[in-house]
Amino acid sequence: TLTGSLDQLVSGSNTLTQKSSSLTAGVGQLVEKTPELVSGIEKLSTGSN
């Protein structure tokens, strides 16, 4: 039915919203950790000299 299809569409878009917000959170964490990663790499490269 049309109503059933609409319900599926709504629940599908809700799931998508949840996934994209968790993806955004993951990217945020990655960005926060990037400076640590960069400084770690710099320490490694200066240590090898």
pLDDT string in tens for the chain (49-residue length): 889 999 999 999 999 999 999 999 999 999 999 999 999 999 999 986 5
Q: What is the per-residue pLDDT for 9? A: 94
Phi, psi values for residue 42, rounded to 5°: -60, -45
Would 18 be classed as within a structural domain?
no
Would 17 be classed as within a structural domain?
no
Q: What is the per-residue pLDDT for 10? A: 94
Would 46 be classed as within a structural domain?
yes
* Beta-carbon-side half-sphere exposure of residue 37 (alpha carbons within 13 Å): 6
Q: Domain limits at 43?
A: 24-49
Would 42 be classed as within a structural domain?
yes
Would 10 be classed as within a structural domain?
no
Question: What is the C-alpha separation between 20 and 32, in angstroms, rounded?
Answer: 18
Would 8 be classed as within a structural domain?
no
Would 12 be classed as within a structural domain?
no
What do you get for the CA distance between the two ends of the chain, in Å? 70
Would 13 be classed as within a structural domain?
no
